[in-house]
Structure 1
Amino acid sequence: MKAYWTVNPMKDVITVYALNEEGLYEQADIKAGTGVVQSVCFPGLD
């Protein structure tokens, strides 16, 4: 799995984690409240 998203509806937050070159997951994006989250695996998907 190259990336995964966590969704916390209680806090209204979406966090995106992506696999880096070292094989570790790092936070790639986070949105709280409103905003657009973009996929790191599928360009143009948001």
Structure 2
Amino acid sequence: MSVQHDPLEFDRENARLAATGLAAWLTLTVLAIVLLLQFGPAISGLFV
């Protein structure tokens, strides 16, 4: 007996995974921008 897999369910699972990954990257990007805007001059002062 072969087990049938629903292609739509497979696509939904992949879309959910992609959305989760995109949300994580977006969160990290926004956090990095906020930190650079907040502490940019202090951080660059360490290297200059």
The answer to which structure has the higher helix fraction is 2
Shared fold per TM-score greater than 0.5? no
**Which fold has the larger relative contact order, with Cα–Cα distance below 8 Å and residues 6 or more apart in sequence?**
1
Structure ID, larger Rg: 2
TM bucket by the smaller chain?
A: under 0.3
The answer to which structure has the higher strand fraction is 1
